[in-house]
Structure 1
Amino acid sequence: MRNALFGLVLALQFLTRIPIPIVAPWTPQTRRWAVRAYPLVGLLIGGVIGILAIYMQNVPAPITALAILSVWVALSGGLHLDGVMDIADALGSNQPLARRWEIMKDPQIGSFGMLALVFLLAWKAVLLWALLAYHAPWWWLFIVPALGRWAGVALLVLTPCARPKGLAWSWQQSLSGQDVAFALLPLAVFALWAPSVVVMVLIATVFVVMMRWCMMRLFNGINGDMVGATIEGGELWLLILLWSWWQFATVSPLGI
């Protein structure tokens, strides 16, 4: 239990800007529990933005959508957006593999990275606006951040690192496939109440498979930036899925 609590603290400290003045030990056991807690941290983020959405339900949808996205980014400190920008710069450079890795390590952000950031946030804002306008059930705001972080866990555990060094590699040494399944447990309650969560897990799994294939093909493995980009991309992927359901399904057999 002590390792589990320290793992939760590590997950909160690593994934959010919430100030937690506790020094948690960095051990294989606490790292394992931290990764298992990733979706739980996502549920916490989802709870905050869900409460904000309920509080602002009488505010015009565009303003509410922008407020939700602002708090969403602020809670994570934009940590995962950096990974999206680094990958965009590397791929946009059209350079050989070795040079792409150098570009990813460069702290400077290029034009491709800025474009990726702008379009990612723009798409998220518009999709949030659309879902709010459709009066989608509140629970989706909890599930999207949680499943996005589970997608990052799945990629981290199931994809080899390109190099035997770095933060992602050090995390991998403590993990196994069981941790991917264990990380889904916080979503079990939602799945019992809203069966469509199971479908969302399957859709998130498809996204992880595609990311794994792309990263292995383009970079011969992953690093921490790619885990962060998977979290951001997974959230966007799920928002598109939800919008598609509400836009095109006249009668939903999924219970949404």
Structure 2
Amino acid sequence: MTRSLGFGVLLALQFLTRLPVPVQCPWNADTSRWAVRCYPLVGLLLGGILALTGRLLEGWLPTPMLALLLLSLWVALTGGLHLDGLMDVADALGSNASLERRWAIMKDPHVGSFGIIALVFLLVWKGTLLLALLESGVSLAVLVAVLALGRFGAVALLVLSPAARPEGMAWAWKQHLGHRDLLLALWPLPLCFWLLPGGMVLFAALVPFLLLYGLAMIRAFKGINGDIVGAAIEGGELWLLLVAWIWWSSAMG
């Protein structure tokens, strides 16, 4: 178990980040299952890097520049992997075409106008909300919770939503997953709530987002794939940033 857990952590890091992991990890039922269980742990690590960077540079940089720096680091750490999924989903949905045509558009390596628009608006909104949170004096531990919960949302979709087709990464991950894995993926979250009192508000806010998003994707694509899961991470993070700003700015006011 310890060996599978270790390889699972490394697989999750290799898949979800651009952090260097110079280890060849075996892919099997146990390691892939532990990798998915460790998605929130990877979010915890990424959020910790962002929060620590912000803490070290706070006061040294103008607040707008710090927000832009954190956003740039955020994208760099993930290599834009989830942004790519967001653009593919936006292009497919924006086409207003048949189901088969939407799938063809999603697989097309070229980015269309809807994808670019979605990317621009998401990054602008993320940057603006980061700036608003910094100016409101909200603890940067909020980033730890947002990134961990965003990846827990990905686990929830993988476990609870049907795969649209028997192909691709999402289908491969789902082969070894059950409801127990969703429960085990919760284990890093108490640390988030300890770091961020009131973090349960974000957890509660994630539930309706996942429900509505999952239902919308099943209606549009008959299930999920890797791009849809990646877009859920980006959309979930944006939603949680908005909820965090509304909640903590109201509490401080």
Which bracket does the TM-score occupy, shorter chain normalised? over 0.9
Residue matched to 1:163: 165
Aligned mate of 1:204, from 192, 203, 206: 206
Amino acid in structure 1 at the alignment position of 2:239: W
Residue matched to 1:191: 193
**2: CA distance, partners of 1:21 / 1:10:** 11
Aligned mate of 2:215, from 213, 216, 220: 213
Aligned mate of 1:232, from 227, 231, 234: 234
Residue matched to 2:12: 11
Residue matched to 1:46: 47
Query: What is the TM-score with the length of structure 1 in the denominator?
Result: 0.95
Residue matched to 2:22: 21
Query: What is the TM-score with the length of structure 2 in the denominator?
Result: 0.96
The alignment partner of 1:13 has SS state of: helix
**2: CA distance, partners of 1:194 / 1:135:** 13
**1: CA distance, partners of 2:126 / 2:49:** 17
Q: Which runs of 5+ in 1 are unaligned?
A: 252-256
Residue matched to 1:80: 82
CA contact (8 A) 2:144 2:192 kept: no
Amino acid in structure 2 at the alignment position of 1:40: L
Residue matched to 1:128: 130
Q: Which runs of 5+ in 2 are unaligned?
A: none
**1: CA distance, partners of 2:103 / 2:41:** 32
User: How far 1:116 sits from its partner (Å)?
Assistant: 0.3
List 4+ stretches of structure 1 deviating above 6 A. Answer: none
User: How far 1:246 sits from its partner (Å)?
Assistant: 2.9
**2: CA distance, partners of 1:46 / 1:162:** 30
Q: CA deviation digits over 1:154-182, x for unaligned, max 9?
A: 11111001111111111101101111121
User: How far 1:137 sits from its partner (Å)?
Assistant: 1.2
**1: CA distance, partners of 2:208 / 2:88:** 23
Structure 1 window deviating more from structure 2 (195-204 vs 21-30): it is 195-204
Pick closer, same or farther for the CA change 1:95–1:7 going to 2, 3 Å.
same
Percent identity between the two aligned chains: 54
**2: CA distance, partners of 1:61 / 1:218:** 40
**2: CA distance, partners of 1:129 / 1:80:** 22
Amino acid in structure 2 at the alignment position of 1:26: W
Pick closer, same or farther for the CA change 1:53–1:192 going to 2, 3 Å.
closer
User: How far 1:240 sits from its partner (Å)?
Assistant: 0.4
Residue matched to 2:144: 142
Q: How many residue pairs are counted as aligned between the two chains? A: 251
Residue matched to 1:31: 32
Residue matched to 2:56: 55
CA contact (8 A) 2:150 2:233 kept: yes
User: How far 1:193 sits from its partner (Å)?
Assistant: 5.5
Amino acid in structure 2 at the alignment position of 1:42: G
Pick closer, same or farther for the CA change 1:140–1:250 going to 2, 3 Å.
closer
CA contact (8 A) 2:139 2:196 kept: no
User: How far 1:117 sits from its partner (Å)?
Assistant: 0.3
Pick closer, same or farther for the CA change 1:68–1:194 going to 2, 3 Å.
closer
CA RMSD between the two structures: 1.2
Amino acid in structure 1 at the alignment position of 2:18: R
User: How far 1:250 sits from its partner (Å)?
Assistant: 5.2
